[in-house]
Structure 1
């Protein structure tokens, strides 16, 4: 493995693949906090050049975290399709980039090749791609999944309605959800982040969201984003759950800090397949986000882009219906400003799609970051052009429970209109039947939640 490079007369020598991967990243405050980032732009360019010339087999031969000490590494290694890998093992990372971007290679070609790649290889090519490269490549890839409904089709921008409430008040949650539905939001999932992580509360929230779906015959699915063990207890008790949820990390130690293990995820899979209320076959919802392993001191000096890719290697083992990166939620310690948040959102979306995942993004930030709502508008448009499967909406873009900023319900509706996209077809039909949409446009009833509260909509009862 060549581990040195000269840039503008200065020689740079790297000790390991792990160091090359970290220093080839675009600027990232999390890598700086971990003291693994490039010290200068010249060093970053040197690392990118060295990485671009590495062969894929070298990345496999020198794992950033040994499969013997980490079950995520072992899982990623087991997933490699050996016959495909044999064909591409002598490609350089630069060769892989060229293949991904060539016009004659469609999304199906990329997904086929990806079966022979490890998550670290996908992270490596991401590091030598521009933002436009990431958009172009991701836009080719179509990943369809089915729970109660099917998402992932071209021309569709699905959405999660996130009607959180600061005390999990069911009436307050309903009011927020009615507003979401009136803007055509919620075709991917009605997903609530609970305040109170008890079996009784999760049981109540699951049944309340399911009763709303049944009452209005909404073509969607429900989920409450509690810890997986709490959801399991609620489902065992008889709660109506279409999906089961869990946040993931890219290392075994990171997942242990979340209180989960591979065996627990397998147990949850068996439970939701047996007792879930959706037709399936895809019944998992996973969330990720750059920086969580650093927060847990479980990063092993691996950069956060590579760790994020490893999350997707773990996620694809369980054939999820939804995966999203909560891109700016953790804070400026990991993504400092709008430039870093934008880059991370595009990286995560591309890497998820290359793993064959139904990738969404929570286009969001915390109030102590150097980001504002205009930056989120920009990122949502970029992701829309990149073919993101779904995004997340909260009332007025301000989550009253989690205390962070995301996209509003009407923001998502606006992006759909500009990009000539829409909700999934069956959800659009539902909107049309209830008088909210007509001829692919909103009617005067759109954005008015009282039409649900009155129990009458467009002459229907």
Structure 2
């Protein structure tokens, strides 16, 4: 395994695969803060060159955190399809990039190859790609999933309706649901982030959104984003919900900081299959984002992009219905500005899809970061071109409970018009029956009028 190269007469040497992966990464403030980033553009290019010549076997044999030290590493390695891996283990990372971008490589080809890859391999190939490469590569991969309805089918674009409220007031949640639905938002899931993470409050919100869904016969999914142990107890006590949610990360230590491990998620997965209201088979919802491990001091000196790929490798174990990336949510200590946020989102979407996940995106930002709405909209449009399954739907793009900026109900309708995409099949029919959307998939005059839900 060669870890050195020479560029323009200057020799560059690296001590490990972990260092090569970190220094081959595009500039990120989190990596700079940890002092693991390339110090110059020349060093970054040298690291990319070394990375391009490593084999996939080199990366599997040298995970960034040893298997005996980390549960996430063990989960990822245990999911590798050995037959496929043995076919491709002698490929270089550079060749894998060429294979992904080859015109004749199909969706089926890439989904098959993904079964033989580890997170380090997926992160490695993404580090060699330009932004356009990431968009094109991701656009070739389609991954759908089913809870109550199917999200991710060709020609569709879905949205999570996020009716958060700063006091968890059921009337406020319902009012926000009405507005979002009137814009055609909510076919991916109606999912509430509660302020108060208790079993009682979680049950109340689960019942609130379920009752509204049943009253209006809305073909979608429901979720309450409490800690997964809270959701589990609420369901054991009889609360109705379609899918379970949990944030996950790329190291065992970070997952412990989130209050989870594989055993707990295994238990939750079995519970939602037995007592959830959706038939599935995809019944888990995970959120991830570059920089969470660094912010928790659980990064082990690994770059934030590689750790993000590892979080997808962990999530894959549970055949999720949704995986939502929220890179940009933490702040400038992880992604400093709009350029870094856009790049991170494109990386994450591509990596998740190559690993085999049904990826949605939340190109979000906080108000203390050097990003703005234009940066967010650039990321959103590029990700839509790349084939993101869904986005968030937040009133006017401003989440008043979580205090960050995300895609709005208006953005959702605009994206569908720009790309000529429609909601999921059942939800589209429901919108037409309600008079909210016409047969072309465009909003009618009733679009954006939540008072239609007050007239029955």
C-alpha separation in 1, matches of 2:301 and 2:379: 29
Q: What corresponds to 1:450 in structure 2? A: 451
CA distance in 2, matches of 1:328, 1:100: 27
| Correspondence list, 1:11-30, <5 A | 11-30=11-30
- Structure 2 partner of 1:106: 106
- 2:360 pairs with 1:360: yes
Query: How big is each residue's C-alpha offset from its partner over 1:60-95, in whole Å with a ceiling of 9 and x where there is no partner?
Result: 121211111111101111111111111111110000
1:431 aligned onto 2:431: yes
Q: What secondary structure does 1:442 align onto? A: coil
| Other-structure match for 2:86 | 86
State the shift of 1:453 in Å: 2.3
TM superposition shift of 1:299: 0.7
Q: What corresponds to 1:43 in structure 2?
A: 43
2:405 is paired with a residue whose SS is coil
- Tell me the equivalent position of 1:184: 184
Aligned-partner Cα distance in 2 for 1:75–1:310:
10
Give the corresponding residue for 1:97: 97
What is the match of residue 203 of structure 2? 203
Deviation string for 1:380-405 (max 9, x for gaps)? 11011100011001000000000000
Cα deviation, residue 435, structure 1:
0.3
Q: Is contact 1:363–1:392 with CA below 8 Å preserved after alignment?
A: no
Hey, what's the Cα distance between the residues in 1 that align with 2:451 and 2:8?
65
Which digits, 9 at most, give the CA deviation of each residue in 1:133-161, with x for residues without a partner?
11111111111110000011112111000
Partner Cα separation in structure 2 for residue 50 and residue 370 of structure 1: 32
Q: Which runs of 5+ in 1 are unaligned?
A: 456-461
The CA deviation string for residues 12-47 of structure 1, in whole angstroms up to 9 with x for no partner, is 111110000000000000101111000010000000
Q: Which consecutive segments of 4 or more residues in structure 1 shift more than 6 A? A: none
CA contact (8 A) 2:24 2:127 kept: yes
Deviation, structure 1 residue 377? 1.2
Question: 1:458 maps to which residue?
Answer: none
If the length of structure 1 is used for normalisation, what is the TM-score? 0.98
* Paired residues for 1:217-228 under 5 Å: 217-228=217-228
Give the aligned partner of residue 369 of structure 1.
369
Secondary structure of the 2:159 match is strand
- Check the 8 A contact 1:161/1:180 in 2, yes or no: yes
SS in 2 for 1:47: helix
Question: In structure 2, how many angstroms separate the alpha carbons of the residues matched to 1:20 and 1:207?
Answer: 50
Unpaired segments ≥5 residues, structure 2: none
- The 3-state SS of whatever aligns with 2:384 is helix
Residues 197, 227 of structure 1: 8 Å contact kept: yes
Contact 1:154 1:387 in 2 (8 A): no
- 5 Å-filtered alignment, 1:123-134, equals 123-134=123-134
3-state SS, counterpart of residue 285 of structure 2: strand
Aligned residue in 1 for 2:310? 310
- Length-normalised TM-score, structure 2: 0.99
Question: For the residues of structure 2 that align with 1:107 and 1:294, how far apart are their CA atoms?
Answer: 34
1:231 and 2:240 correspond: no
Counterpart CA distance in 2 for 1:157 and 1:185 is 10
Q: Distance in 1 between matches of 2:180 and 2:6?
A: 54
How big is each residue's C-alpha offset from its partner over 1:237-261, in whole Å with a ceiling of 9 and x where there is no partner? Answer: 1100100110001011110000001
Task: Give the Cα separation in 1 of the matches to 2:345 and 2:63.
Answer: 25
Distance 2:74 2:137 in 1: 28
Instruction: Give the 5 Å matches for 1:395-434.
Output: 395-434=395-434
Distance in 1, Cα, partners of 2:68 & 2:454: 57
Deviations along 1:255-287, one digit per CA (max 9) or x if unpaired, are: 000000110001111111111111111110000
Which residue number corresponds to residue 193 of structure 2?
Answer: 193
Cα shift at 1:379: 1.0
How many angstroms does 1:454 deviate by?
2.6
- Distance in 2 of aligned mates of 1:130 and 1:155: 26
Does structure 2 retain, via aligned residues, the 8 Å contact 1:163–1:394?
A: yes
How many Å separate the matches in 1 of 2:173 and 2:418?
29
CA distance in 2, matches of 1:419, 1:375: 19
Give the Cα–Cα distance (whole angstroms) in 2 for the partners of residues 193 and 30 of structure 1: 26
* Whole-angstrom distance in 2 between the partners of 1:387 and 1:227: 29
- C-alpha displacement of 1:8: 2.8
